[in-house]
Amino acid sequence: MTAVTIPGLDHAPTTHARLLSWVREVAELTCPDEVVWADGSQDEWNRLTAKLVDAGTFVPLKKKPNSFWAASDPTDVARVEERTFICSVDPRDAGPTNNWMDPAEMKATMTELYRGCMRGRTMYVIPFCMGPLDAEKPMLGVEITDSEYVVVSMHIMTRMGTKALARFGDDADFVQALHSIGAPLEPGQDDVPWPCNETKYITQFPEERMIWSFGSGYGGNALLGKKCYSLRIASVMARDEGWLAEHMLILKLTSPEKKAYYIAAAFPSACGKTNLAMLEPTIPGWKVETLGDDIAWMRFGEDGRLYAVNPENGFFGVAPGTDYHTNPNAMRTIEKGNSLFTNVALTDDGDVWWEGMGEPPAHLTSWKKQDWTPGGEELSSHPNSRYCTPIAQCDIKAPEWEDPKGVPISAIFFGGRRATTIPLITESRDWQHGVFMGATLSSETTAAAVGKTGVVRRDPMAMLPFIGYHAGDYFQHWIDTGKSADADKLPKIFYVNWFRRGEDKRFLWPGFGENSRVLKWAVERIEGKAAAVETPIGHVPTAAELDLEGLDAPREDVEAALGFDADEWRAEIPMIEEWFAKIGEKVPTSLRDELEALKLRLG
């Protein structure tokens, strides 16, 4: 063995040989000053948050206990889809919706970037588990990172450290996740508050279940348990093993008769998952509890139903727009402290503020660390600024949120942000039609990813940036999933749109807590208790079918929000055809049939 001595390298708290040799290999390549195994303790949290305060990365909040404000480098604020790669062995396995590079070539390129990239920094080894620790087959991973911000964020977002490592034994399988901000320090060189690198790569090697990330410290690029593992890599595992890894919230809806329903919903980034997951119903007697706000892993149970588990341990929610009116439960969760806030504004008395919180204070420090006063052009907070907070302290978490067997899903919602065309809610005719709805889901782009906002793009199952393989194969996997089950045990699939607008651009539907009325109609459909109109696009309620008691919205608006317009849909068809053409020959025949049938019904 080569005699490289790096402090800490030989003090590993495990005898897992493959893990040990990988850690050594990475340390020898990246040359950190020391190696530290993250244990997940309160002491570690205290030490690292103090270090981040010293470095100027964190400002401790005076108004929220054990909470910190961070402002990223202004160029490192969102996921970078252009720099995200699926490096499958065969390019046909990555498909037309992913960037692809030959895995050997990518490894050669990134190995050179990683060489010496942790000089002057500490290399942290973070054993973690996605989903409950007491799962029969825990979903393990190890992230190696040189970012303290990542370590403390992983404290919130995952089950990690000693308790996760206990499930590794000597030879458990785990996902290798290597991360570096790519900012080595020369001896004596001053650090910056948010080190990162202009060159960024977010790379998945699906066959090896491996992730390499370089250059970014931002959430979705750097917390590799989240999008990289739980969606891109897990979607490949799910394809191979017959389950689903999806960009979905999980909620529990209890009716006045005390019957519980579990609903999973896929909306693209910044389109309302976190809001719906924590909704406060405006209709009496109905209750919503939260199990997850971003990711659902769904497997068939012994009874033939589809059960969902949230792999995450925290919420990483969009801050702007969140307040006591739109999402009181998120506000109460972060109020308890133990939270991180990135790219929001800082108040002079040591609290956080963002757009959507009502009247701004007279003076703020903006996310760009500049003086900010109301009335100017610039936003105080980046539109993709986020809070990071533990699920455990959410008052409305469902008691079963950590049950390793998951919860049986009764309904799946697909939804996007569309100003026109898509009704408030449409029930699919059957599973295959529901998969067609998901596969052709469209939405206007948001600030959650770098690029132009407000452009309509297809975002299948809200998974466009997260499908770890060919989108056509992914659609087929959804079709096959339905075929493998009893039709009457499958969740019913609905298509929703909270974002339809009137001619003056106002939202036709008030949304947020009022969405409980839409949830109610959906479960009444499941129970066979509510009526619907059969239209060419599926079953749509009339305004009379929805419980609108006490709703403060003009009836015409509700009717317009629910409206099916054949002309708008005829205009949609060429866009769907273009989308299928892009996916190419792997579009399942059954989905082409759905498209032809829709065209016929539209006349």
Q: Which residues are catalytic?
A: 271
How deeply is 271 buried, as exposed, middle or buried, from its count of CB atoms within 10 A (0-12, 13-18, 19+)?
buried
Min separation Cβ 221 and ligand GTP, Å = 13
Rg of the chain over CA atoms, in angstroms? 24
Min separation Cβ 230 and Mn ion, Å = 10
Q: Which is nearer to ligand GTP, 48 or 409 (CB)?
A: 409
Min separation Cβ 293 and ligand GTP, Å = 6
Q: Is 220 annotated to bind ligand?
A: yes
Backbone angles phi, psi at 28, to 5 degrees: -65, -30
Q: In the complex, which residues of this chain contact ligand GTP (CB under 6 A)?
A: 267, 269-275, 293-294, 317-318, 321, 326, 448, 498-499, 507, 511-512, 515
Min separation Cβ 305 and ligand GTP, Å = 25
CA-based nearest residue to 229, from 170, 178, 161: 178
Q: Does 275 bind Mn ion (CB under 5 A)?
A: no
Q: Is 182 annotated to bind ligand?
A: no
Q: Which is nearer to ligand GTP, 267 or 436 (CB)?
A: 267
Cα three-residue angle 34-24-149, rounded to 5 degrees: 45
Q: Which is nearer to ligand GTP, 271 or 598 (CB)?
A: 271
Q: Does 459 bind Mn ion (CB under 5 A)?
A: no
Q: Which is nearer to ligand GTP, 48 or 448 (CB)?
A: 448
- Applying the rule CB under 5 A, the residues between 287 and 316 that interact with Mn ion are 294
When CB distances to ligand GTP are compared, the closest residue is: 511
Please list, residue by residue across 446-469, b when 16 or more beta carbons sit within 10 angstroms of its beta carbon and e when fewer do. Answer: bbbbbeeeeebebbbbbbbbbbbb
Q: Is 215 annotated to bind ligand?
A: no
Q: Is 252 annotated to bind ligand?
A: no
Q: Which is nearer to ligand GTP, 157 or 270 (CB)?
A: 270
Three-class SS state of 230: helix
Q: Is 242 annotated to bind ligand?
A: no
Strands (E), 88-180: 122-130, 139-145, 159-160, 175-180
Q: Is 515 annotated to bind ligand?
A: yes
Three-class SS state of 461: helix
From Mn ion, ligand GTP, none, interface partner of 512 (C-beta below 5 to 8 A by class): ligand GTP
Region binding Mn ion by CB under 5 A among candidate stretches 45-53, 198-206, 263-271, 547-555: 263-271
Which residues 6+ apart lie within 8 Å of 544 measured at CB? none
In DSSP terms, 346 is beta-bridged to 352, 365
Q: Which is nearer to ligand GTP, 286 or 512 (CB)?
A: 512
Which residues 6+ apart lie within 8 Å of 573 measured at CB? 595, 598, 599, 602
Which residues 6+ apart lie within 8 Å of 427 measured at CB? 492, 493, 494, 522, 525, 532, 538, 539, 540
In DSSP terms, 297 is beta-bridged to 245, 309
Q: Where do the H-state alpha helices sit in 199-327? A: 219-222, 234-241, 273-277
Min separation Cβ 242 and Mn ion, Å = 24
From ligand GTP, Mn ion, none, interface partner of 321 (C-beta below 5 to 8 A by class): ligand GTP
| Sequence ranges of the binding site for substrate | 79, 218-220, 269, 384-386
| Sequence ranges of the binding site | 79, 218-220, 227, 247, 269-275, 294, 384-386, 417, 512-515
Which spans of this chain sit near Mn ion (rule: CB under 5 A)? Answer: 269, 273-274, 294, 317
| Sequence ranges of the binding site for Mn(2+) | 227, 247, 294
| Sequence ranges of the binding site for GTP | 270-275, 386, 417, 512-515
